[in-house]
Structure 1
């Protein structure tokens, strides 16, 4: 029988390189490469993508940590020294995404870029990075769901290495990391398949579609997880935020679609002369 996988990829002297970090780095590299290619096609200098990544990544990490600490404040107010102890775990993807959006908005403002176009370019690749990144949770045996049975997992026709990795603390668990990863992967393939159709998307609508797709799936996956952050008993933070994001994104999508002067996505960068 296959045992749990080693979360350590390799040792460099006294330094341990975790699979989680390797997988996240790989996800970012793939996402950036795809975004740079699409940026060039849409008339945006690819250097802007690199600059955005360099600015957004550290702030996204800070945002992910602050989001987690904020909703676990009852613990951290008693252990303030652990607020920065990110190596012990405790980050939230929604916090990272919110921080990254703020960085994008500020950068686009100062560089005279359309934030809607930049969001559209980045959104599908971010979704792919999220799909890949969940496998870092898999290696760490985290982001799992409630207890289940070996029979149930084998009924999903999963590879044996996934089934055995879901044997956590003596009990098999729902592979919620896998559910979210697959949901994001399907969304990525779908958006990538249709985003270049003429007059299908106005600028901003690819990003808004991503928000709706991700928040819809996250609502249901979050309901199956056992490590959720709560606002109150029975009220999960990520589920509430998912509902808000879905409704707001849908409303903005409908409002922008009715406007006649919004450029189409395939028109690309209409301010090219100013920001190249």
Structure 2
């Protein structure tokens, strides 16, 4: 795949950067409308979004680099090359959450209103990020598989240098031209589908007569579940707790993301239970 969307003279626009930027702007538009519909000043929301985007990108890149240091150790400066892809969702959420909560309190708005408002942008970012990963080539590469859905990268597709040497889990198949050759799980598409499902669910949660934060914790719950079951088992990531590995099918448990998702799922279920109980008591 080709990571470059368009080149005009010295200007190069990459798919990854373009799609993430588009997700931010569309997400911001939808969030403003949501905040206004809840009776709060959307103009004050702008500052929160500005700093949340910056902190989110920094947090996402920092966590990705720290958990994939083997890919950057030889050339540490490449950790700054965000346009090439490589953002950790959990780091982005943590980084963006802090300024969102801070500015919500500063503006006299319940923090959950801002967090709920930001969800479409997050879902769009997941979609755009995964499509950008796909165009980058071997970014978020899938495991080799003998399943019928396995995809073989075309000969002209390029990827990131080092992908074949940093994982150490290629038991069969082979590497060539920086990209894994042989049928692989197209995990970039799996991830994009997860984002699309979550986007639809966010609009459904928005319409429900539930307290602020209901959409946010549902998003945390369902993203963690879907990522852990639909995408992560098939990605060629190191197994931090190697409970199961089927190299021919291309399935593995547990990666760092799957392990982190377990407490997040428990926390989300607890928060949703509390909100549900509060709603029942208020309606009694």
Shorter chain as normaliser: what TM range?
Answer: 0.7 to 0.9
Match of 2:190 among 162, 176, 179: 179
Instruction: Give the Å deviation of 1:17.
Output: 1.3
1:88 to 1:185, Cα distance in 2 relative to 1, 3 A: closer
Q: Equivalent residue for 2:206?
A: 195
Q: Classify the secondary structure of the residue corresponding to 2:116.
A: helix
Moved more, 11-20 or 173-182: 11-20
- Between the aligned partners of 2:100 and 2:221, the Cα distance in structure 1 is 19
- Between the aligned partners of 1:263 and 1:120, the Cα distance in structure 2 is 21
Asked if the contact 1:202–1:262 (Cα under 8 Å) also holds between the matched residues in 2, the reply is no
Q: Equivalent residue for 2:122?
A: 126
Q: Equivalent residue for 2:262?
A: 243
Q: Equivalent residue for 2:228?
A: 219
Q: Equivalent residue for 2:219?
A: 210
By relative contact order (CA 8 Å, sep 6+), the higher-ranking structure is: 1
Is residue 253 of structure 1 aligned with residue 272 of structure 2?
yes
Asked if the contact 2:56–2:93 (Cα under 8 Å) also holds between the matched residues in 1, the reply is yes
Report matched runs for 1:150-189 at 5 Å. 151-153=148-150, 168-189=179-200
Instruction: Give the Å deviation of 1:99.
Output: 0.3
In the alignment of these two chains, the number of paired residues is 251
Is residue 22 of structure 1 aligned with residue 18 of structure 2?
yes
Match of 2:38 among 39, 42, 60: 42
Q: Classify the secondary structure of the residue corresponding to 1:251.
A: helix
Q: Equivalent residue for 1:271?
A: none
Instruction: Give the Å deviation of 1:56.
Output: 1.2
Instruction: Give the Å deviation of 1:89.
Output: 4.8
Instruction: Give the Å deviation of 1:214.
Output: 0.4
List gaps (5 residues or longer) in structure 1.
Answer: 155-159, 265-276
Deviations 1:155-210 (A, max 9, x none): xxxxx999x9799443232111211221221222133135324x3x1111111011
Match of 2:97 among 85, 97, 101: 101
Asked if the contact 1:63–1:99 (Cα under 8 Å) also holds between the matched residues in 2, the reply is yes
Asked if the contact 1:256–1:262 (Cα under 8 Å) also holds between the matched residues in 2, the reply is no
1:245 to 1:78, Cα distance in 2 relative to 1, 3 A: same
- Between the aligned partners of 1:87 and 1:190, the Cα distance in structure 2 is 29
Q: Classify the secondary structure of the residue corresponding to 1:48.
A: helix
List gaps (5 residues or longer) in structure 2.
Answer: 160-178, 244-253
Scaled by the length of structure 2, what TM-score is found?
Answer: 0.76
Report matched runs for 1:4-15 at 5 Å. 5-15=1-11
Report matched runs for 1:256-267 at 5 Å. 256-259=275-278
